[in-house]
Structure 1
Amino acid sequence: MDQILQQLINALSLGSIYALIALGYTMVYGIIQLINFAHGDVYMVGAYVGYACMAHLNLDFFVSLLIAMAACTVLGVVIERLAYKPLRNSTRIAVLITAIGVSLLLEYTMMYFVGAQSRAYPPLPEFMSRTFRLGEVSITSLQILIIAISVLLMVGLQFIVQRTRLGKAMRAVSQDRDAAQLMGISVDNTISFTFALGSALAGAAGVLVGIYYNSVNPLMGILPGLKAFVAAVLGGIGLIPGALLGGYVIGATETLVASVGFSMLRDAVVFALLILVLIVKPSGLLGKNAREKV
């Protein structure tokens, strides 16, 4: 029982990070049906901004987290305005190739300026490094912090989407873009806001991963970005609750596979799980099959 609780805590920590990244994928897809493969690299930029604030500017963790989120918000809007907006009426394959190009641009631009080597975050304050024990179960204050910040950001996102004017505009554009425009909603501004929101969450995830694994590098966004995309598809692409569920399922799967001694196979198991779910339920765990009338 203690072992199960221990792995559950580990799964919650990892799943929370995947869920934050997956939310950006699913919101953008829900609005403009775009798979933004540059999203994982926005998360990487957030990790580096947090590292620079803590290591070079000597700012504390919470200030660094806010600055990283703000920087990624601006980056997300710039990417949308410069790379995706001109292709709004282009084919999906053109936009998809552009997204891959933006991803590579971010990776190698960062590599040019900071080098390819990994960097370690500075030591955390003592209160963030404590370990609490409940019998045989141990939980660090860092894990508690990651789970708490992730849940707080997810609750804030849900509030924005469900209760604010911009959130209602997002839901309207996702349902019918033309009808929303006829009702006076600025589609372009709504799409930019969606990118800003998703990028802010990715920036927060980058800083959380940086302090959790104590390592950042220019290519760190590739695999977590793919796994977060898997999480979004697994839960039901375009659905916010689906992204949350998918993130925690992926986190739990990785933790379970590693706990039984097959840590080298955890990535393969994650993608095998995606294939299995798509065979059984192509719309994802929470998705609904929509029939297209002809």
Structure 2
Amino acid sequence: MTYFLQQFLNALQLGSIYALIALGYTMVYGILTMINFAHGDLFMIGAFFCFIAAGLLKLPFVPTLLISMAGVALLGVAIERVAYKPLRNAPRVSAIITALGVGLFLENFTLVFSPYPQSVPTLIPNQTWMLGPVSISSLQIIIVLLSIGLMILLDLIVQKTMIGMAMRAISWDKAIVPLMGVPLNLIISITFAIGTSLGAAAGVMYAQAFPVIDPYMGIMVGWKAFISAVVGGIGNIRGAMIGGFILGLVEIMVAAFMPSTYRDFVAFALLLVLLIFRPHGILGKPRPQKV
């Protein structure tokens, strides 16, 4: 039982990171019905911003986090304006190919720093406390609490603000809403900024939990966050949160009780089984088709 509780705490840490990245996928899909396959690489850029701010500029954790989130948010908005905006009315496969191309560009551009893995300085004192037979670290507490705080803040923005109302309206019918005076381009840019900044926050926390980064680290993590979004219901913010924690729990428990090489197999098998029995995810709903 003690071993299970210890692994459950590890699953909360990993699930928090997956959930934050999954929110970026689900927000963009909810607005544009497009999968931003470059999102995992933006998570990687967030980790490299952490490396620059902490390793080269010697900044503490909070400024590093804010700089990473702001820098990746600006990059996300620029990518949307340059790469995705001209393709809004193009076939979806064009947007998918473009997103994959953007991801490849980001990976190869980051090789400018070095083709080798980089070590990120530890910004959070990693103290450990015993709660009975279970140990919990300050790093785990900060990652989980910060992630949950950002998720709650996002949920409040979407549900309680005018910007959130505009996002929900555009996700329902982006052809009619601009006729009512809603600035479509601005809301889409805000959506990309929020989604990519959450991915950057996940990158910073990942770099602190696993302090060796490389230009290709976002590929597999991005795919797993995409699985989290689909499991929870792509386009549903709360579903993406739930999906992230589910996938984190599954991965950690598989690694704890089975050979660790089965982790990726089980993660993708989970997606396959869910799509068979519940194609729209846990909280997802089928979109009405206009004819």
TM-score, scaled to structure 2:
0.97
Q: Which residue of 1 aligns with 2:41?
A: 41
Task: From the superposition, tell whether residues 24 and 291 of structure 1 become closer, same or farther in structure 2 (CA, over 3 Å).
Answer: closer
Unaligned runs of 5+ in 2: none
Task: From the superposition, tell whether residues 272 and 197 of structure 1 become closer, same or farther in structure 2 (CA, over 3 Å).
Answer: same
1:133 counterpart = 2:162:
no
Identify which of 172, 176, 180 aligns with 2:173: 176
1:262 to partner: Cα distance = 1.7
Kindly provide the amino acid, as one letter, of the partner of residue 7 in structure 2.
Q
1:88 to partner: Cα distance = 1.3
Task: From the superposition, tell whether residues 293 and 219 of structure 1 become closer, same or farther in structure 2 (CA, over 3 Å).
Answer: closer
Q: Which residue of 1 aligns with 2:223?
A: 226
1:22 counterpart = 2:22:
yes
Q: Which residue of 2 aligns with 1:50?
A: 50
CA distance in 2, matches of 1:186, 1:102: 26
CA distance in 2, matches of 1:137, 1:232: 30
> What's the % identity of the aligned pairs?
51
Unaligned runs of 5+ in 1: none
RMSD: 1.2
CA distance in 2, matches of 1:262, 1:183: 56
Q: 3-state SS of the aligned residue for 1:221?
A: helix
* 1:158-181 Cα distance to aligned partner (Å, 9 max, x none): 111111111111011001112211
CA distance in 1, matches of 2:5, 2:257: 15
Alignment of 1:124-203 (within 5 A): 124-125=123-124, 128-203=125-200
CA distance in 2, matches of 1:5, 1:208: 22
Alignment of 1:1-294 (within 5 A): 1-111=1-111, 113-125=112-124, 128-290=125-287, 292=289
CA distance in 1, matches of 2:37, 2:255: 27
* 1:170-202 Cα distance to aligned partner (Å, 9 max, x none): 011001112211110011111111100000000
Where does structure 1 differ by over 3 angstroms across 4 or more consecutive aligned residues? 289-294
Q: Aligned residue pairs: how many? A: 291
Task: From the superposition, tell whether residues 197 and 124 of structure 1 become closer, same or farther in structure 2 (CA, over 3 Å).
Answer: closer
1:101 to partner: Cα distance = 0.4
CA distance in 2, matches of 1:220, 1:240: 24
1:290 to partner: Cα distance = 5.0
Task: From the superposition, tell whether residues 292 and 178 of structure 1 become closer, same or farther in structure 2 (CA, over 3 Å).
Answer: closer
CA distance in 2, matches of 1:287, 1:85: 26
1:148 to partner: Cα distance = 0.9
* Contact 2:39-2:222 within 8 A present in 1 as well: yes
